[in-house]
Structure formats: C-alpha cells, structure tokens
Amino acid sequence: MSSRILVTGGAGFIGSAVIRHLLQNTTFYVGNLDKLTYAGNLKSLDSATTSLRYSFYQVDICDRTALDAVFAEFQPTAVMHLAAESHVDRSIDGPSDFIQTNIVGTYTLLEAARYYWSTLNSTVKATFRFHHISTDEVYGDLEGTTDLFTESTPYSPSSPYSASKASSDHLVRAWQRTYGLPVLLTNCSNNYGPYHFPEKLIPHIILNALAGKQLPVYGDGSQIRDWLYVEDHARALVEVVKNGSIGETYNIGGHNEKRNIEVVETICYLLDELVPLEKLNGMARQYKDLITFVKDRPGHDRRYAIDASKIQRELGWTPLETFDTGLRKTVQWYLNNPQWWQSVLNEDYRLDRLGNEVLAALKTS
C-alpha cells in the first residue's frame, strides 16, 4: 500500500508548507482536511491543485461522522494533526474556540483515528502513525538566559491557547498508553516564512511598514523567541512521521533566539535596503521610525528557547536557514507576492469559497 498522509489544518500556515513539501519531495498521496476558518487559505496551495496525489476535504475535526467518512475514503497510513486555533491574542479575547478546536477536536480526531486503526489488517496497522504537532508554549517560559526547553521540561502554560495545546498533548499521550495508538509528538518554536497569516508578528510588521503604518511592539520588546523557518519545520515534521519512534516527543527549534524588538528592527533594516522610504520634508526617513511600543499582553511569556539536539541526534535533522537568510527570504516573498496577502487583508480569500450569488451579495452589502 502506498503511503497516504492525512494532514489536518492543511490550509493553514504550517500545514500548507507540509503539504507543499510532501508533494514536491516525496511520492506520498496527501489528503488535506481543513474546516477553512479565517486562518485557512487554499490560495497557499495553488501549486497542489494540479497534483493527482492531492485531495481536499472541507471538514471540521469536531465532526466525528465526517471524519469517519474521510478515513474510509482516503485510507491514510499516517495522520499529521496540525489543525488548531493558534493565536494567543485571540485566545485571550475568546478562549471558547480554542477549547473546542484544540481539545474537543483533538479528542474527536483521536477517536476517529483509533477506530480506523482498529479496522486495519496487521501489516498496515503496524506501520500506521498519528503525529500530533504542538508548540513550545506548553512549557511556559524560561527564567534564565541559558536554559532550554527539552522534551522532559514540565508543562506550565500561560495563555488559554497554550493551555489548550497542553491539554491536547496529554490526550494524545493517553491514547497511546491506554489504547496503544501509535503516536508521535513534536513541539516547535515560533515559525515564520511565506504564506504566514498577517496577524502574526513578522508578516504584520512587514505589511504595516509597507503601508506606512505604526509598527506595534508589546511592552519594551524584550521578549525572546526562538525562530524557525517554516520550510525547515516542514522537513522536520515529515522526517518525524517517516522515521520517528512511537511514543516519542521531538522538540524542533531554529537555533535563532531573538528579542522581539530585534526582529522588528531587522525587518526595518531589510526594507530600508529593498524598498527605501522616500524622503519626508527633505529629511531621510527610516522604517524604524514607525516603531511604537504598546501595552503588553496579559501573561506574556518572557523567553522561549528550544533544545533540538534529540531530533538532530536521532533523526539527523538540522535547520538549513539562519534567521538572517530566512528573514530575508520571507521579506522578499511578501514583496514579490502582494496578490496573496492583499486577498487576505481584503478577505477575498474567504469570499472565493462561496457561490457566485452569495459572493456578489456580500460584495455589495
């Protein structure tokens, strides 16, 4: 039986990168299961639509009946579970969606996968994998300047988002221990790169700068994150689902710790080089002049940093991009692809899913 990977949340930022990687670099068949919430964008997968190895299912992971139908039709040999509500600010304003999708949805998907797995013949059953993709935010934050998150770091989530992801991690491990479901888990650091939804820090700063708007930075910008280029992450995830050991957790990081203010300033320097601002009133102006410090978010973690030595040691994965090379590629991609992010900003990417009559009515209302 050929390898068939079912990717949940495949129209999202990381999920779409995984699908593009699978179709470009493997012979696997790929099923994309996505509810298409605000963060799901099929325009990120235009290159996939012509592939005979690609299938799309618009399904909510909380809908057990629909999940069972997809499993029966697509018959995956592995599940890569990326579907999640993931924006911290949104979780603070409205945590219920995060509880429903990240906890109830993961439970429902686990049960659908467990039922499907139980029906497989012994050969296929032995090779089936359920790969749950999570975040380093479940660990809370680090006090020191040299400590790192390892796979054995105790969980201490700070936000409704990270608490919901921690809960989903626990569910996945429980389904392996109680029912024997062959699971793998990964916890990653902050991702960035092409096709990133504009509400996230790096694309938000790029697009605000291009529009001449203020560049908001929480607090004093001293929060530290480890930045991982999304295509490096996609390579790591595929390596784990192919060769990872059942029941194991692998931390995935970019080895790029940066303060938020450093990230914003670096974007400004790159834009100064690539699309310099015109002189204002005869005086030179730089993008960093647009930086504005705003009130910090509640419960804002101070530092995340990943120890990714296990995945390097056991699976041979290391990131190919440094922060400088990855960020330059990212900024250049947004400059080269205004049609993608403009369709997100004006919400045409969502309207395109509707029938022409509904689309016309919405456009004129």
Instruction: Give the per-residue SS3 of 269-324.
Output: HHHHHHCCCCCECCECCCHHHHEEEECCCCCCCCECCECCHHHHHHHCCCCCCCHH
Q: Which two tokens stand for residue 314?
A: 């056991």
Other beta carbons within 10 angstroms of residue 288's beta carbon come to 16
What is the pLDDT at residue 361? 37
Average pLDDT on 72-76 reads 98
Please report whether residue 80 resides in a domain: yes
pLDDT value at 346 more than 80: yes
Q: List CB contacts of 169: < 8 A, sequence separation 6 or more.
A: 132, 134, 138, 155, 185, 187
Residue 89, pLDDT score: 83
Catalytic positions, please?
A: 136-137, 161
Cα distance between residue 345 and residue 347, in whole Å: 5
Task: Answer for the pair 251, 308: CB distance below 8 angstroms, yes or no.
Answer: yes
What φ, ψ does residue 89 adopt, rounded to 5°? -60, -40
Is residue 359 included in any domain, yes or no?
Answer: no
Confidence of residue 351 (pLDDT cuts 50, 70, 90): low
pLDDT confidence tier of residue 1, bands split at 50, 70 and 90: low
2 — pLDDT class (breaks 50, 70, 90): confident
Q: What is the CATH number of the domain that holds 52?
A: 3.40.50.720
State the amino acid at position 31 in one-letter form. Answer: G
Task: Give residue-wise pLDDT tens across range 301-341.
Answer: 789 899 999 999 999 999 999 999 999 999 999 999 999 99
pTM of the model: 0.92
Contact 70, 6 (CB under 8 A): yes
Assigned token pair, 189: 């650091």
Q: What is the pLDDT of residues 128-171, one digit of tens each?
A: 999 999 999 999 988 777 789 999 999 999 999 999 999 999 99
Residue 357 lies in a domain: no
Residue 234 falls inside a structural domain = yes
- Count of beta carbons in the 10 Å neighbourhood of residue 289: 12
Q: Is residue 12 part of a domain?
A: yes
Range of the domain at 230: 4-260+294-351
Amino acid in position 150: T
Closest CA to 168 of 114, 102, 96: 102
- Inside any domain, residue 279: no
What total of structural domains would you count in the chain? 1
Report if residue 142 sits inside a domain: yes
Given a contact cutoff of 8 angstroms between Cβ atoms, the answer to whether 7 and 15 are in contact is yes
Question: Of 58, 89, 73, 61, nearest to 4 (Cα)?
Answer: 73
Q: 266 in a domain, yes or no? A: no
Residues 244-271 have a mean pLDDT of 96
pLDDT-derived band at 62, boundaries 50, 70, 90: very high
